[in-house]
Structure 1
Amino acid sequence: MERELALEIVRVTELGALAAARWTGRGDKMAADDAATTAIRTMFDSVSIDGTVVIGEGEMDEAPMLYIGERVGNRRGPAVDIAVDPLEGTEVVASGLHNAQSIIAVADRGTLLHAPDIYMEKLACGPELAGKLSLDDDHETTVRRASALTGKALSDLTVLVLDRKRHEALIATLRRLGVRIRLIGHGDVAGAIAAALPDSNVDLYMGSGGAPEGVLAAAALRCLGGEIQGRLLPENAVDLQRCLSMGITHPAHILTMEDMAGTGDVIFAATGIASGEFLSGVRQLSKDRAETHSVIMRASSRTIRYLRTIHYLPGKVIPQGTSESVDMAAG
């Protein structure tokens, strides 16, 4: 994949973020998601790829666009897999909270895992711990090993966890060990990425979250030199059948980062909608201008680029979350 593709992809996430941001605090998560999805799908038409959506808004009968298997791009570029979450944090935007973003990962065709929309147990870390921990170990063993390998006392180790009832036992274990816990209400992908960012002060990301989000996080962590391991958690026969239909015959086995995001080149781009772990949200600077903050990463170079963009809004058509589109500057 050409390096110029990274800038094309971030233009797509920027438009998704601008569209979703109009719905901040308005209590309508479906409209916010629809706006971001429509914006991203429209913008993909100008991107020089022959893309197939592998992680998206659902199966064809569940989503009108960005459905799994949909072809995107102008077909004049490389054949690639697309993993996309137009709006990670629908509740965040609807409620005017923190930690929402538009996210896209691009990889060579046939390399991104087609993950079912079920829970996945996850363990993510940065380069220092990559390849040295195992999801098969219990939580205490993992934390103690991370402490020994980093040379940090348990009390200096920081673990990021989604604040969910299902994590009560994990949180109790971490508190008994005396580690620092950072609980986040939303942002499963951003949380996993934080464990590998050099300035995040996060050592581990632990707990369960969405399997599609695990694939997006794996793409980013490949670019960062970190690691994520996952294990699918089917809760019933329907979940198990979804795994089997997607070619996952042994859901209980550990999924490596390579299982989820391949070994070739990967491009990861995200634009903040509501400020979170590592991206600032969309800011309306004036009637005519808005600012976005994005990150662009590539596995082949492991370069992390942060992009601050000032958008001139007159004439820029932003999907509004309905069948109509409006000029953002006029709203």
Structure 2
Amino acid sequence: MFDHFVVSVVICPVLVALAVRWLADRLRPEAAVTVLVMSIVTAAAACLISLTAFALKAVAEVHAVGRWLGYSDSMVRADTGHEPWVSWLSVALLVVAVAGMVRVWRQHRRELGIAREFSGLPVDADRVTMIDDSRAEAFAVPGPPGRVVVTTGMRSVLDDKQYRALLAHERAHLDSRHHALVLYARLAAAVHPVFRWLTRRIDFLVERAADERAAEKLGDRRVVARAIGAAALRASEARLGLSMAPGRRDLRGAGVVPRRVASLLAPRYAARLLMLVAVPVAVAAGSVVWTGECVADLGELLYAAGMLH
């Protein structure tokens, strides 16, 4: 079974991460973001199932458990006799992964709690809630019904065209369920450390997808670019705590705004590369197949150990 650990836990996640990172800046984000995130999530799920299988094997290797359930624990141990550490390492990795997922989920629940604070506020026909606040803020609040929250401080720094661009951007987050994609990516990052390397890239990709949809709706890329720049310049340091723009907290230091503006004004995407999204998809699908074989092998091993006993 050791080869299953190497493929599903080590090789496939790394290959998927490398492919996603290389493709993220080379494809139109609105065309690729969902496929790339789902590739990450699929590889992470396969990794988690493999770790669970090896953790069960670790328990099955305990002599007392073998005596209690009536099977040959020595036969189970012999399956990875040359790598005796792999089963118990999987236990440790599984505990870390589950703890990380719980932490991400609790953070998500806190954000939903903040969102509920806006559910009682009035919303206009355009699904917009205007808040009297001097800070320049705007964010999408998912859930039925989804809405866009805008402060008077933000509205005051944008002209009418820029304001429409802002609303189009935030509605794109709602309509495309970007909040779910971000959550899935963060859960995947909790499962495998290599995916943490991609979290900012995914955040940026989600923002770019919303930028492109806003530009398509308005038919004016420059208006969207100016709206992004104006909002970033006037955005206050104190945040409201909930935003459907996950990378927004990185804008001041990571150069995200200039990159978004540059991508809008001079997009550099190669349509012929779109077919390459099949690479992370194929690797992720392969990891699922390999993980299925891992689970089947574990079942056969335990059955044979029981028959031998």
TM-score, normalised relative to structure 2: 0.25
Higher relative contact order (CA 8 A, sep 6+): 2
Identify the structure with the greater helix proportion.
Answer: 2
**TM-score between both structures, scaled by the size of structure 1:** 0.24
